[in-house]
Structure 1
Amino acid sequence: MKNICVVVAVFCTLSIVHGQDLRMWYDKPAVKWEEALPLGNGRIGMMPYGGVKDEQIVLNEISMWSGSEQDPNNYDAYKSVGQIQQLLFQGKNDEAEKLVNQNFVCSGKGSGFGNGATVPYGCFQSFGFLNFIHFIEGDFSNYRRSLDLQTAKAETSFEANGIRYLREYFTSQDKNVGVVRLSASKKKSIGFALHFYRDKDVKDYQLQQDEITVTGRLPNGLGGDGLEFVGKIKVVAKGGKQQLYDNQVIIKEADEVLIYFTASTSYYDSSPKTDVSNNLRDADKWSYNKLFAAHLREYQRTFGRVGLTLKDQISKANLPTDQRIKDFFEHPEEDNGMAALYYQFGRYLMISSAAPKYEKALPPNLQGLWAHQIQTPWNGDYHLNINAQMNHWGVEVGNLPEYHKPFIALIKRIAKEGKKTAKAYYNAPGWVVYMMTNIWGYSAPGENASWGASTASGWLCNHLWEHYLFSGDEGYLREVYPLLAGAAQFYQATLVKDPKTGWLVTSPSVSPENGFKLANGKTASVVMGPTIDNQIVRELYGAVITADSILGLKDSFAQTLRTDLKHIPPAVRVSSSGRVMEWLEDYREIEPRHRHVSHLYGLYPAAFISPVTTLDWATAAKKTLEVRGDEGTGWSRAWKILFWARLHDGDHALEILRQLLKPAFLRNDKVGAGTYPNLFCAHPPFQIDGNFGGSAGISEMLLQSQDGYIHLLPALPTAWKEGTVKGLRARGNRLVDITWKDGKVQSYKIKGKKGDKVRVVIEGKEVIYRVKG
């Protein structure tokens, strides 16, 4: 680092500052699903609409997948690789792409082009709906519904006929149940008819006393039955009358009612009927207060690790959240608390949509845990050319490292299938997966070259490596070293020499979902050595070499990678326009403002581009972003927040956050990219990656540690003049607290291994901090 003096840091104490209000609230019931409030415990989820007389709650279970295990690999594909590569050598990319589309795609129906509910690929889908008809007459007033992120509980309250009604909802982090409590200010005021509804695949619907039990089978995509699913709804009334009619449980004149929901599937290698029965075995004996207290203890154990306060002159927490989103888009500098709320909402969604404590836990998919359809958009799967990765960008710095583990477990599972894919498409050793996967371990390319031909195994290894960098756990590193080495082994075996430069490059490949114009006027997507691949291969080889050294393995394979690295293209090449080149050739892109900015992988999530160590590259990255533009789909805007944060431009990062929070529902009833009223990110439609990426971007504005030191407030926006953050996590397993005023650090504290000396950068100056413990 240049022009930085070194001094010994004065140990600082961090004053305790109470966090801002983390409650979302609304003054009208939800009409659309994108207005309903998400609750979840990583296994089951609920989304109450908050209706007064007619109430609907969307129900979910994270393993509700149709489809089945399959082998979608084309085992003759490798026979065409040589011909494809020769066409690329000759600059005939369009002809090469035709061959890729003919031979280098999956066998069978693949993902069904994103509509895979009835093919073997399958899709994630909603469990069903819980519907209430409440026996309330007349008009209502003083309506309010809310979601409190500090307690993970939603509420709906209103008055009708002089009676105050309260409905409380949470999904327990302690037990695998969802809970609804209905109460009122006057006894004998609770009455309703309740039933469960699902459009397809229900085989049996039973009413017994106070329970609804639903059993069904999802299609396996081959004309038969796939996963079995079972759900149970139990109604426990205090006082009143109860009866069963048709498919409904009817309650009249009760003082209070508790409704429990639980669900399971055969994905978990156990009987879902047994699971749900065990989950509700003693439900009639549960006290609501004890159940909620146990949930709260478990939830706050994780959520409470990080606190963020961004001081406002005037708080806007008293505004309904949908109005607050609109105001933030128009004047973000007036509501710093909205940024803090959005940051913590990302952490809340992760805790709610993943459950690392369970065996075979699944990571959040494209819709997290929440869906309201049978055929979810893009199958609600795991897109691996950024989306599933973006879901996990905030877990390490946001002090939720265990929530990386379900994704790491998924990587391990698909890597096993990826060995078959490496053989089928290249006759190569090691493992490779392409741009999408599901719970069944799908690893083959997609159905079309422009998006389906990008390898994702190297990008997935970034997560394996980052989890080590943050934890410093050598036992874990030893466990995943074979995965890192296996991915590198595939690349080493399949890279080809570019005849123009002599570099070793991937072939065939694409820069995810983008295309370019050839000299002959035609367009193509398939190339050799797109910049993102060169950056990923460099990062992966470096990780294997470093891991080998840390573990003292003396692996001869790692030594061969040292030699090969000399022949990998540079991480960044700057074009005549001053931008980072996206491909080996300086092609003209078809969409200059394309949503993917894959050639800046080296800026984020990798660390090749830095305004401190590689200023020329950082300048080129900045110009690339300026030409790409600030707008894009929801997740694309989230990525740009991270890019600008890494460039240490907090004001521009805040500008992109403003655009990410642009109201998605437009005046003409159309939907655009931005944020729905319930804070879900709109691609559109809803994709949760934008929420996770936006939250990660806020972390990156406050703390960075990728360059070998801890950088405090590297991209602090001018508007965030005063604030406090506690509990952020830096690489090296260090926890960081910071307090600042007038944009300058006032105090900070770092926790970690006692006695460690840590390099810390504050306002461009480096200090040495000795950790006290």
Structure 2
Amino acid sequence: GKDSYVDKKDAGKYIDTIQKLLFAGKYKVAEKLVDNKVLNKRLSGGKNTYQMLGNLFVETPNLDSVTNYKRELDLNQSVATTTFKNKGVTFKREYFSSFPDKAMVYKFTADAKGKINISTWIKRSEQTKIIISENRIEFSEHVGNGHGVTYHAIVDFKTKGGISKVEKEKITISNADEIIIKVVAVSNYRGLDPEKESNLVLNKIENTSYNELLDRHVSDYQALFNRVDFKISKKTGEDFPTDVRLKKVKKGISDNYLTQLQYQFGRYLLISSSRPGTLPANLQGIWAKGFTPPWNSDYHTNINVQMNYWMAEMANLSECHEPFLDFVNNLRKKGRVTARKTYNSRGFVAHHTSDVWHTTAAFGKSRYAMWPMGAAWACEHLFTHYEYTEDKEYLKNKAYPIMKEAALFFVDFMVTNPNTGFLVSGPSISPENNFLTPAGKKATLNMGPTMDRTIIFELFNNCIKAAEILNTDADFSAILKSKIEQMPPLEIGSDGRLLEWAEELKEAEPGHRHISHLYALHPSNQISKSQTPELFEAAKKTLEGRLSHGGGHTGWSRAWIINFYARLLQGDKAYENILALQRKSTLPNLLDVHPPFQIDGNFGVVSGITEMLLQSHNDEIHILPALPSEWQSGSIKGIVAKKGFEIDITWELGKLKTLVVTSKLGNTLKLRYNEDVKEIETKKGEVLTFDY
């Protein structure tokens, strides 16, 4: 694929002038300069987009008396099923997508012999090359008129009984007892030969029975899915369709079973879209419809891709985190060029949007694009993965070198604010908000917005911690420590809210969907009730202010609010926002809607619910920190805390009943429940049981 986004030539020559203009309060002049001299346009007209593979049409003739039509997705097995009755015969279609065998497998059956009749064909684009034989459709293309990858796909049909023939570019199968369809597809994204490789993948499973493929798929999936069990609902109600449940919730009832389902659906989606060796889940996960999905199904690094992965470690899906960690590593090559060309700085940098080509350039409009924090925020995930696993090899060879290089950029990039004497970054923004200038004009660029400061503070501190653990790089740590000392403190405005920008400015949209200046509360942990009580109260006010002006109107924004309220230890408020997510931002199939469909809300609600029941920042494990009164009794088993503790919690009538802690690494366990705090030395593999 060709790069749609490149760094603007000579951008670096203007940074100094832009910084001076911003310090002088000449926001609009600076913005004009940034738009003209620093930001590029999207060069390929949106050709670089993630796409569906194609449409496989299956037409069934003479379905004139269909009854009992039912579609279901079994989250325990990751198998979708459709059943219906027609003229006294019950038809069943099962579908699954197998990670171990790299294939999609469908099975069509009926409860009477010789009753399956279908015609089937592939549709994609004008450029698609399609070859049809009586038991195969092969199709291939150089995507985007030769702009993107080339791929080769094979749809393979095996029938029992009946006749298969090719007519009018379709395969028609008549009077069959059973049909098994296998779909494989390979692109050259990782340098493979698509045609050769897709045939190899198919040959491997050509003679494997459906049941064997199903068993391999289910055991691979369950190895991840079955780690966590979550119950907050007495009733099972599986026979009650999800869309009907959701309608009732939208009309005003609450349904704990739906919440439980939404939680495990989020885990299912991450398992199904992010595995070692794949690309990370994008804005739509992997579920793009058509050829022009919203925002190209890119990676938006100003919250969306990070939110996809907040849940990974805590919901016991550490392996599913890996594609994102690899992605951050892969941003370095272009990110170094962007750092040098756009900012005259060492290290590496990335802006608000990236894609599968690991683009890092700044493009678009100031309001969202003039934001050099994408890589730095993503680096939080590298250190988080270490905090859960304590894998020192990984820290040494992978995480720390990437974090260090991201930090080096800010060592060079930060400048002293002549008005305050503090070190700040910029030109930057508070994603994607505007403020009003003293003259009442809308502006967006600023030196040292609060979010910049909190992300850099966290990155520097994580680098210092990592260097200490690895006993390395004392000189670099000393530089970072001295920079931290020169950075401004977090400040509270005259109305008791946290400042969003370096000085007190009025927001143009007080109900803005991004709540960027609360980064210090979540996902970071620079604000907490015990360590920073004043800032904790200011964060509460900030959130209430956003919500009172209509904040949380997008699915992902609402999901972030659930996480914020969990950190503010307000379980009932977190719960209210789960309800709001269900009522305002959830589609009938439970996918999250921005609008349009965007998957981050599905993932963000999982981390939010987990943090309502368990938190492990601030060096202690806090049990039931934000339990809402609506979840009177329940249990969650298999969730994970930092320092390698796996935890099962059962509660009754709003109170903790039993707690089982498995120490995977043998660390000291610091436990908190309400005001009860205990510290226990553990051995690796030890299981501790507590009754309350």
Q: Normalised by the size of structure 2, how large is the TM-score? A: 0.96
CA contact (8 A) 2:4 2:42 kept: no
Partner residue, 1:511: 430
Residue type matched to 1:91 in 2? G
User: 2:459 matched to 1:548?
Assistant: no
Q: Kindly provide the amino acid, as one letter, of the partner of residue 305 in structure 2.
A: A
8 Å contact from structure 1 (residues 366, 383) kept in 2: yes
Q: Which segments of 5 or more consecutive residues in structure 1 lack a partner in the other structure?
A: 1-66, 664-673
Counterpart residue number, 2:353: 436
Contact 2:5 2:42 in 1 (8 A): no
- Pair 1:180 & 2:106 matched: yes
1:562 and 2:477 are equivalent in the alignment: no
What's the % identity of the aligned pairs? Answer: 38
* 2:622 alignment counterpart: 711
Shift of 1:329: 3.7
Alignment correspondent of 2:137: 212
User: Residue 485 of structure 1: CA displacement?
Assistant: 1.1
Aligned to 2:198: 276
Distance 1:161 1:628, change over 3 A: same
Residue in structure 2 matched with residue 96 of structure 1 by the alignment? 30
Equivalent pairs, count: 679
1:374 aligns with 2:294: no
Taking the aligned partners of 1:249 and 1:123, their CA distance within structure 2 comes to 31
Match of 2:404 among 464, 482, 485: 485
| Residue number among 721, 733, 748 corresponding to 2:659 in the alignment | 748
- Residue type of the alignment partner of 2:122: F
Alpha-carbon shift at residue 522 of structure 1 (Å): 1.3
Contact 1:69/1:441, CA 8 A, preserved across alignment: no
Deviations, residues 720-772 of structure 1 (Å, cap 9, x unaligned)? 11111111011112111111111111111111247533000112211224432
Residue number in structure 1 paired with 2:690: none
Q: Give the structure 1 partner of residue 567 of structure 2.
A: 646
Matched with 1:297 is: 219
Alpha-carbon separation, structure 2, partners of 1:547 and 1:604? 21
Bigger drift between 318-327 and 431-440 goes to: 318-327
Q: Name the amino acid aligned to 1:291.
A: L
Q: What whole-Å deviation, never above 9, does each CA across 1:565-584 have from its counterpart, x for those lacking one?
A: 111112x2110111111001
User: Does the 8 Å CA contact 2:283/2:304 hold for their aligned counterparts?
Assistant: yes
Matches of 1:110 and 1:478 in 2, distance apart? 38
Are residues 1:625 and 2:547 paired? no
Measured after TM superposition, the shift of residue 332 of structure 1 is 5.5
- CA distance in 2 between counterparts of 1:226 and 1:94 reads 38
Shift of 1:138: 2.2
- Distance of aligned partners of 1:382 and 1:540 in 2 relative to their CA distance in 1, 3 Å threshold: same
Match of 2:319 in 1: 402
Report whether the alignment pairs 1:351 with 2:271.
yes
Partner of 1:591: 509
CA distance in 2, matches of 1:86, 1:637: 37
1:164 maps to which residue?
Answer: 90
The counterpart of 2:499, out of the listed 576, 581, 585, is: 581
1:154 equivalent in alignment to 2:71: no
Mapped pair 1:697 → 2:589: no
Structure 1: which amino acid aligns with 2:345? A
Distance 1:363 1:754, change over 3 A: closer
- 1:226 Cα deviation (Å)? 3.0
Is 2:261 aligned against 1:341?
yes
Alignment-derived partner of residue 440 in structure 2 = 521
Q: Which amino acid aligns with 2:508?
A: I
1:192 match? 118
- State the one-letter code of the partner of 1:468: Y
Do 1:760 and 1:767's aligned partners in 2 also have CA atoms closer than 8 Å? yes
Correspondence for 1:533:
452
Query: In structure 1, how many angstroms separate the alpha carbons of the residues matched to 2:658 and 2:108?
Result: 46
Once the 2 structures are TM-superposed, how far is the Cα of residue 555 of structure 1 from its aligned partner? 3.0
1:284 deviation in Å?
Answer: 4.5
- Asked if the contact 1:180/1:260 (under 8 Å) is kept, the reply is yes
Deviation of residue 162 (structure 1)?
Answer: 0.6
- State how far apart, in whole Å, the 1-side matches of 2:167 and 2:65 are: 27
Provide the secondary structure at the position in 1 that maps to 2:583.
coil
Cα 1:274/1:332, change in 2 over 3 Å: farther
Whole-angstrom CA distance in 1 between matches of 2:672 and 2:325 = 31
One of 290, 302, 310 as aligned partner of 2:232 = 310
Q: Does the residue aligned with 2:96 lie in a helix, a strand or coil?
A: strand
1:613 CA displacement: 2.0
Counterpart of 1:266, as a letter, is N
RMSD (Å) for aligned C-alpha atoms: 1.5
Q: Distance in 2 between matches of 1:754 and 1:438?
A: 36
Q: Is the 8 A contact 2:5 2:43 kept in 1?
A: no
Deviation sequence 1:356-395 (CA, Å, 0-9, x none): 1x3xx20011111111121111111000100111111100
For residues 421-480 of structure 1, what are the alpha-carbon distances to aligned partners after superposition, in whole Å with 9 as ceiling and x for unaligned? Answer: 011111111111111111112101122111011121210111111111111111111122
| 2:537 is equivalent to residue 604 of structure 1 | no
CA distance in 1, matches of 2:442, 2:667: 55
Q: Tell me how far 1:225 sits from its aligned partner.
A: 4.3
Q: Is the 8 A contact 1:736 1:750 kept in 2?
A: yes
Q: 1:332 to 1:544 in 2, by over 3 A?
A: farther
Q: Is the 8 A contact 1:311 1:721 kept in 2?
A: no
Can you list the C-alpha shifts for 1:656-698, whole angstroms capped at 9, x where unaligned? 11111125xxxxxxxxxx0111111100001111111111111
- For each residue in 1:140-159, what CA deviation from the matched residue of structure 2 results, as whole angstroms up to 9, or x when unmatched? 11111100100000111111
1:75 aligns with 2:6: no
Question: Offset at 1:92?
Answer: 0.6
Aligned residue for 1:471?
389
What amino acid sits opposite 2:136 in the alignment? E
Q: Is the 8 A contact 2:274 2:321 kept in 1?
A: no
Shift of 1:199: 2.7
Choose from 238, 248, 252 the match for 2:174: 252
Q: Which structure 2 residue ranges, 5 or more long, are not aligned?
A: 688-692
Q: Measure how far apart 1:308 and its partner are.
A: 0.5
SS of aligned partner of 1:268: coil
Corresponding residue of 2:633: 722
**Alpha-carbon deviation of 1:242?**
0.8
Residue identity in the other structure for 2:441: K
Corresponding letter in the other structure for 2:228? V
Q: Deviation of residue 396 (structure 1)?
A: 0.6
CA contact (8 A) 1:77 1:426 kept: yes
**Cα shift at 1:631:** 3.1
Structure 2: distance between partners of 1:175 and 1:228:
21
Query: What residue in structure 2 maps to residue 325 of structure 1?
Result: 246
Partner in structure 2 of residue 12 of structure 1? none
- 1:415 matched to 2:332: yes
**Aligned in 2, Cα 1:380/1:175: closer, same or farther, shift over 3 Å?**
same
Deviation string 1:210-266 (CA, Å, 9 cap, x unpaired) is 00000101137xxx4431011110110000111011221110000111111111111
Aligned to 2:413: 494
Deviation at 1:311, TM superposition (A): 2.9
What does residue range 135-146 of structure 1 map to in structure 2 within 5 Å? 135-146=61-72
Which amino acid is 1:84 matched to? I
Q: Partners in 2 of 1:525 and 1:226 — Cα distance?
A: 34
Give the equivalent residue in structure 1 for 2:364. 447
Taking structure 1 as reference, are residues 611 and 328 closer, same or farther at Cα in structure 2, changes over 3 Å only?
farther
* Separation (CA, whole Å) in 1 of partners of 2:621 and 2:658: 14
- TM-score with structure 1 setting the length: 0.86
